[in-house]
Structures are given as structure tokens and as C-alpha cells.
Chain A
């Protein structure tokens, strides 16, 4: 079965410092990976995706993610955190079992807290 793991429930970082939110995956076949952010009482906002190609993917709001096939990881990164980055972050993989689908399998989420 395909799955995504986010090993940290919460990540704390000081404003201006680099941040990393971790994600590992388990899939059969090629992984199609996504990161989303959720602000309080809001829906999910798309940040970036990995389909194929360069292992470093650049996304919205200065975020990027590094795909590592050997470590089955897709960590989200930002060089300099902002207080406004404080939110809940979800890693997801597109389900590639059973044919054509846009079904996503989500991790449990990581709460990012950026201190001023």
C-alpha cells in the first residue's frame, strides 16, 4: 500500500533561519509528490509538486523541496523562515494503484511554528 509519513508533528524555527519539514514516502512505481499548506480555518493551498526531472523543485512563497529517490524522501525547505509561514503543512502522494485517478494520500501533517 502506498503511504506518506511526516515524522514530526511540529517544527519550531526562528524567523530568518532555514526550515525543513520532512516527508518520506512508500509507493509502487513512480512517485508523484505534492506539498500543501493549510492556514487556520482555511483549505489547502498548493505549494509545489514533483513529477519527474530535477530533484530540486521550486514552488510558491519561496519554498522548495528536494526529492531523494534512494532515501524515498521529499523534504520541504525554505532558506529563511517568516512568521507568516506558520501553518500546517501536508505532504501527499498521488495514488497510482488501480488506474487513472487524482486521489491523493496524505501524511498526518506538520505544524510549523516560526518564532519572531
Chain B
């Protein structure tokens, strides 16, 4: 069974550009979450989607947005990139939306460098 798949793995963008990152959850998982990991701030929650609806959102500016498609695949977008957006972006998926017993699995991440 394939794990959480994130694309692209590495990318370099210029300040002011926008970027779209993609996440395919484990088959059957309908909950998808996104996290940003930086050396200074650690792991910070961006947002969570379940059944194509944003269920939870972290404390990030409106430049950060996401969506989930009917097949549970998710994308996140960052517009008007800033140098501080350079980070590892991690996607996580879980089997059900409300089961506290469910394990949350992470992908390998997308490394974004903004120059």
C-alpha cells in the first residue's frame, strides 16, 4: 500500500512568485493536513481538510491556502513568496475524520527554497 505521496520533492522559487504543492493521501484516507517545518519555528500546523472542506486552520497569513479534491488529493498554494517561506512542507493523512484512535501518517515532504 502506497504511503502519503508529495510532489514535487524539491523546488526553488523566486521571491514574489507563487507555488503549488500536491499531496496524495494513503488510499482510503479522507483527512489531509499540512504542516510547515523550519529550524526556527519547528513544526507548525497550516490547515486540515476532510471531505473537501477545510476543517481547521493554523495561524498563517492568507497567502497560504489549500484545497481538497473529491478523490481526497490535496494541494496547498503559497502566493507572493517571501524568503521566510523557505521550509519543508509536510502533508499528513488519516483514515477517518473523527476517530481519535487513527494513526496520522506523513509524507516525505516538499522542500521549498525561496531566493
Contacts and interface: CB of A to CB of B under 8 A. Distances in A.
A63 B15 CA distance: 43
A27 B106 CA distance: 23
Contacts of B108: 42-43
Contacts of A104: 33, 35, 45, 92, 104
Given A90-B43, A108-B42, A109-B42, A102 B107 contact: no
Given A32-B100, A51-B101, A102 B31 contact: yes
Given A43-B90, A43-B108, A103 B103 contact: no
Contact of B109 (A43, A100, A103): A43
Interface string A54-71: 000000000000000000
Interface size class of B (residues with CB under 8 A): 20 to 34
Interface in A9-54: 30, 32, 34, 36, 41-46, 49, 51
Given A43-B90, A101-B48, A94 B100 contact: yes
Main secondary structure of the interface of A (DSSP, over half): loop
A46 B35 CA distance: 15
- Classify the secondary structure of B's interface with A: strand
Give the interface residue-count category, chain A.
Answer: 20 to 34
Interface string A88-102: 001000111010111
Contact of A102 (B42, B94, B109): B94
B20 interface: no
A105 interface: yes
A9 B57 CA distance: 28
A45 B55 CA distance: 24
Contacts of A32: 100
B97 A100 contact: yes
B35 to A, nearest CB: 8
Interface of B: 4, 6, 31, 33, 35, 42-43, 45, 48, 50, 55-56, 90, 92, 94, 97-98, 100-109, 111
16 contacts: A30-B100, A34-B104, A42-B108, A43-B90, A46-B103, A46-B105, A49-B103, A90-B43, A96-B100, A100-B98, A101-B55, A102-B94, A103-B45, A103-B56, A104-B104, A105-B45
